[in-house]
Every structure is written in structure tokens, then in C-alpha cells.
Structure 1
Amino acid sequence: MDRKLKVLISGTGFAGQGHADAFRAVGVKVVGIVGRTASVVSKVATKMAIPYSGTDWQRALKDCQPDIVSIATPGGAHYETIKQAIEFGCHVFSDKPLTDTGKSALELYKLAQKKNVKTAYASSFRYMPHIMHAKQLVASGIIGEPTEVECISHFNLERDIPFGWSHRKEDGGGRLNNNFTHMISIATSVIGENILSIMGEVRDDLGKAPIVEGVHNFKTRREFIPEDLNDPSLKWGESNVEWSYTVMAQVESPIATKPVSVLFKHGGLNPRFNEDHIVFYGTKGAIYIKGHYGMGPLYIWDESKTWKELPLPQDIVDDQPKVDGDTERNWQYLTREFVKDIKGEKVAYYQSFKEGSLYQQLIDLIRKNDSWTDVSHLQ
């Protein structure tokens, strides 16, 4: 494929602009961008020198004739946009969550298979350098057979962030959609991609949030928190999603004789006392990575019976896109692999709508909160 590939972007906020930058960085021509509000999408298109902008997705598909579409809106707005793009014959790069339900996500996965288009699913923090280092170390057998993974994080999010998509299940909100998708991807990237079983519980410990006009960019929403939360004229929206979760999973590892136990504990509104972390335990040692998404540094516990910090291997450093920001760098890493695949080049495994569909079905199961056993009658 010699001609330059073209991509059409859906979404004008932080993710939409980030996706556009990522595709440009890997040599794809950004031919258009679509958003909900004409004035906003026009402003973004001008700022980013994108030649086409509009609010009608189907018309944009016809006008721009893209090879790829990039979906960077909240998850609740994905279904129709992705379905139309697949029907149009486009390859699809989608941010997480794939949709707001397992059923609709599975439908899109099957449709993409039927139409023979390639898909990429951006639960992309598996490309954090220290996570990739951990994958190398585990595969080398340095910790023996992996036995257990522990993922602990506390975000201390402001309770009064303005009400929006992140508060609504139907819009793709919730911590499972926007944190767990990355965490399960990280764990499976290191241990093995086959998830055997899962259980969990969720909790909405927020309740409500103030309704404020003018919030557009997810990254700047904190700037819109009202100064007077006791203002009687202030309106409030009710949250219907989880802000904390505890999930346990069993994952198959090609180098372990038994399923690996994985614990995911996330408190979106809870303050942290110590470092968020990810730990991979094995029969001969352990790997500890500081940071909720494995930002690092990475430490190893081996036969020396002490923790020691390990530097990143040079091959991992050299393979990382040269861009600021973990999120932006991970997007670019995945777009690079996705575009190579579209061009027919050999690439390593990357996540597609197969995982996007699976993760949405897992989230539906977890949200049922039906894993409890009533013991109140026991003596």
C-alpha cells in the first residue's frame, strides 16, 4: 500500500485531538474531524489545521472517504458511529470503552469480522515502558511461575467535578469503563491474554454532582467546579455508575501450571496514603511497579531476598514514541502498530474489538453485584 492512508476523527476534546496527533505522527493524513457542536469542531479543526469539519458523521464519511476512523468520544456515543463506519468499509480505532453494554460491543465485534475490517481497541496503558519490561521479565522466568497479581489504586478525584458523561452508565461513564479496562489489559499483557473467570463488586460513593455549562475538554473539567456549592440555584445530576470497585480474576499463563489470581482494587474518590502500585508475584520472586498504571520505577525481588530497582532496557526505551504524556505516547504506540497492520506489515499482537467486546461483557457481569453469599443466618 503506497498511497497515504486517511483518517477521520470523531470527537473534538482531549482524546480527539490526541488521536489526531497520534495518527499524524505515524504518517496518516487527518482529513476531517466531526463533533456535536459546529462552533467547537470548527475551532478545533482550524487550530489543528484539519481541512474538513462538521457535525454530520455519515456525511463526513462520504465527503472524506477515509480508510480509517478514530473514535474519541465518550463510550455511550460509540455504537452508531462505529457501526456506520464499519458498514462504510473503514478500519476502526476506538478508545475505551467500546460501547456502553456488552451486547452492543459484541455486535460491533461480529460486524467488523463480517466486513473484514481491522480494529484497534485503545486500552493502551499496556504499552507503558515498565509494564513492557515486566512482561519481558516474567517471560524470562525470573520470578518463576506467576501466581498472583495485585493492582491497587486510589485517585482522590474531586467529588464536585461537574456532572457529565463520566457520571452516567448510558454515556460510558464509571470507573470500570475508564480505569479497569486499562488495568485488565495491563495484567493480561504480562501474564497471558486468556481470562478464565471473574467476580467483583462495585459501589457508587459519589451520589450527585453539580450541573455546569461550558465543560468541553475532559482534562480541564476541574476548572469548572462551582465556587459556591451551597448556591440554592445550583442544579445537581444523579450519578448511576460506580466510583469504586473490587474485582478478582483468574488468568491463564503459558508458564504457570495453575491459574494466576489477580486482584484489582480501585477507589476513585479515596485518598492514597502510600504509592499506588502493581505487583506480579511468582514462585521464585516478585516484580513491583510504582504508580497506578505502572509509571515506575520497577523493582525486583529475587534470590537475593531484597528489593532492587531495575533500569529500563534500552530496546524498550528506543521503541517508545518520542512524545510527552503517558496517554499520548500509548495512543501513538498503538496507532503505529495498527497502521503497520493495515499496510500489510508484520506486527506484534495488539488489542482489537475482540478485547473491547470481552471487557464490556465482563463489566456487565461485575456491575450485577451478585457475587455475594448471604451469611447473616449462620450461627
Structure 2
Amino acid sequence: MELKVLIAGTGFAAEGHAQAFRAAGAEITGIVGRTPHVVAEVAQKLSIPHAGTDWQHALRECLPDIVSIATPGGAHYEPIKQAIAHGAHVFCDKPMTATSDTAIELHRLAQQAGVKTAYAASFRYAPGVLHAKKLVAEGVIGEPTEVECISHFNLERGIPFGWSHRREDGGGRLNNNFTHTLSIVTSVLGDRILSVMGEVRDDLGRAPIVSGVHNFATRRDFMPTDLNDPSLEWGKSDVEWSYTVLARIESQKASKPVSVLFKHGGLVPRFHEDHIVFYGREGAIYIEGHYGSGQLHLFDRSGQWRALPLPDDVAARIPAIKGETEQCWHYLAREFIRDILGEAHEAYPTFREGAEYQQIIDMIRSEGNWTKVAEPA
């Protein structure tokens, strides 16, 4: 049975989702975007028969089994709600929506409608993460005790103003970085998040307004050469560009909750490589890269760090696709399709995780966990 897929969006994610579902054996029957000539160009490029700007018309015309939501988070709510009413299964990129209330509502509606959902916090499928999951499950590091996820992106301050700078559009580093690292940690340890606290900081403040930007992947091509140019217009950032989060996660592999540190600086430079480390009572696993896509190193009873090759059984599961983001989309789309068809599949994140993550992000942004230190007597 060939499932039919309708895509919402025309940028980098839309193209990635379309290719992922095709590789999984589905038919891409339509694509919808805001700008007529853009959606027509993308549809022609990807050989998609239906192209339009009316989402509800496309749902009636294309009769999709699956809709793939590849727009910024602030534009997710209405298309997903309409797709669920249509009876379509939903594959949604992160963030799920811009607020926890709307994310919870969509999760409830999907459950009531009996449709399947996939939430693309998908770097849990990076090769190093899958390898770490295997090692932890085999007890190689013993009982897990703590995890640290450290990343510094040194993003350019001249990146043109857009959805990533606006809370209402699903912007911010929590929505677009923390979602992945939280999914990575829970995929390895277990998905029961017991408690969370954290703080955020907007150390950008503003970004230049530049016309012509369409594709998120090429936004750097439009950066002004002189940020001191008095003729520049500026948009106000209202989201975090750095965060520090502490979490306690329950794991069946540990007798006590595992402590997790998530530290991200969007605008600051890195000195050593970004990394994810899983510590246990008998060893540790260090993965290079902010999303665990680099070399994995093991510290075990030998008392030495050593680089490990990717096991053959893990390598065999990785889609042969260029680009780590695209690779993970392919992995998730494949498992989602298998589930819909009633075939054996791996567990994957759904709207349950999407709604939970949005609640956690709202809690962190509220910063209601500071204790004031009194002056000494």
C-alpha cells in the first residue's frame, strides 16, 4: 500500500520531509506554501503534482493519508488541527507549536481522532546516539548517574530577522536546540522526566530586517556586510539565545534519578568541541558534536578513553543519505510509515513528547525557580 503525503511548507524542511517520505515508499501528492510562485517552483523541482496556497483545499483535493508539517512552529496549529479533522496522520517538525496550551490541545485531538503522530525531535537517530543507547542498554558503563549536553554555536548576529527571533513564531534556542538534546537523552535513558529547572538569556536583542529571505538553510547569504549601516532596519528579538537547564530523569537502568545538564550558548564561540557525555558508575560515553553525530569514545574499567567504531548492526539501520539532519528525518519517516502500515518498527517521539516539551519550555522561560540570597547578618 502506497501512502499519500501532503507537505505544508516550501523551505529546507519541506524538501527534506518530501525526500524522506519518498525514500520510505510514500507518494508525495501535494505541497502548500504562502507564496504562489515559490510553491510552484518547489513543486516543479520535486515533481509534486499539486501545488497551492490553500491548505483546506489541498486536504480535499489530495486526500492525504499523512500530512507533513514543515513550516515554522508558529504556523503549525491550524494546519495540524485541520489535518486531524480530515483524519490524516501527522508528521510535525519541532517545535510542535508556539505554546504549551496549543500543543496539549493538538495531542488530545489526535488521540480522540485515533490518528498517529510523529514529532521530529529527530537527532535521537544520529549514529553516535544510537551507539550510546546500545552501550548503555548493555550495561557497559554500569548504572547511569549523570549526563551533560554542551554546545556553543557562535551564530552570526547579522542573520536576518525572521521566525527564529520571534516567540510567537516558534523561535528561540529552547524550541530549536533543547528539543533535540532532550529527545537524545530520553531516548538513551528513558522518557520519564521527573523535574526541570533553568534560566534563559536573550543576548542578541535585535536583528537586521532584510528582504528576499525564504529558505532557512540559505539565510546567511542575505546577511548585511555592515551592521553599523545607519540605513538598516531592525527587528526586536524576544526569545532566548542561551540557556542552562537542569533535569532529573527516571531510568530503569538506574536506582536513582539521573542528573542532566543542558548548556547552550547560541552566540558564543566554542573552544573544545561540542559534546554529549553519559556518565555511569563503571565508565562513561563521550560523543563529539552537539547532537551526537561525531566520534564516540568510551571510558571503561581499563581507565582509558578509546574511540569505538560504529557497530555493524547500528550502521545498517542508518539511511544512506547525505546530511545529518536529512538522515534523521529519513529514519523517523521510515519508522512512522512502518507503524502506520502495521509493520514492526522502533519507538519514535509523538505528540505526547511534543506537548510535554512545550510545557517544559514554558516552565523554563518563566524562570520561577530562583532563590534570592539574603545579605549576611
TM-score between the two structures when normalised by the length of structure 1:
0.98
**Partner Cα distance (2:33, 2:313) in 1:** 39
- Equivalent positions of 1:215-234 (< 5 A) are 215-234=213-232
Of the three residues 55, 62, 67, the one matched with 2:65 is 67
**Partner residue of 2:360?**
362
| 2:89 aligns with one of 88, 91, 105 | 91
Q: Distance in 1 between matches of 2:258 and 2:348?
A: 22
Inter-partner Cα distance in structure 1 for 2:237 and 2:231: 19
What code does the residue aligned with 2:234 have?
Answer: W
Matched, 1:159 2:157: yes
| Inter-partner Cα distance in structure 2 for 1:141 and 1:87 | 45
Letter of the 1:261 counterpart: S
1:26-65 matches, within 5 Å, as: 26-65=24-63
Q: How does 1:110-121 map to 2 (within 5 A)?
A: 110-121=108-119
The alignment partner of 1:142 has SS state of coil
Q: What is the rounded CA distance, in whole Å, between the counterparts of 2:120 and 2:166 in structure 1? A: 21
Letter in 2 for 1:124: S
The correspondence for 2:265, drawn from 257, 267, 286, is: 267
Aligned counterpart, 1:287:
285
- The CA distance in 1 between the partners of 2:335 and 2:316, in whole Å, is 15
State the identity as a percent: 67
CA distance in 2, matches of 1:94, 1:126: 15
**Which structure 2 segments of 5+ residues have no match?**
none
* Aligned match of 1:149: 147
Q: 1:11 Cα shift? A: 0.4
1:20 aligns with 2:18: yes
Classify the secondary structure of the residue corresponding to 1:319. coil
Aligned residue for 2:76, secondary structure, equals: helix
What is the distance in 1 between the residues matched to 2:129 and 2:226? Answer: 42
**Deviates most, 346-355 or 164-173:** 346-355
Name the counterpart of 1:304: 302
Partner of 2:253: 255
Number of the residue aligned with 2:103? 105
Query: Could you tell me how far apart the structure 2 residues matched to 1:25 and 1:197 are?
Result: 38
SS for the counterpart of 1:246 is strand
Q: CA deviation at 1:160?
A: 1.0
Offset at residue 47 of structure 1 (A):
0.8
Query: How far is 1:330 from its partner?
Result: 0.3
Listed as ranges, the gaps of 5+ residues in structure 1 are none
Pick which of 135-144 and 147-156 moved more: 135-144
Find the partner of 2:206 among 208, 220, 240. Answer: 208
Matched positions, count: 377
Task: Report how far residue 376 of structure 1 moved.
Answer: 4.2
Compute the displacement of 1:229 (Å): 2.1
Q: Which runs of 4+ in 1 moved over 4 A?
A: none
Distance in 2 between residues matched to 1:317 and 1:355, nearest whole Å: 26
TM-score in terms of structure 2 length: 0.99
Give deviations 1:36-71, integer Å, cap 9, x for gaps.
100100011011111000001000000110000000
- Structure 1 counterpart of 2:237: 239
Mapping of 1:165-176 within 5 angstroms? 165-176=163-174
Give yes or no for the alignment of 1:333 onto 2:348: no
Query: 2: distance between equivalents of 1:11 and 1:149?
Result: 35
Q: Distance in 2 between matches of 1:4 and 1:255?
A: 40
Q: Aligned-pair distance for 1:319?
A: 1.0
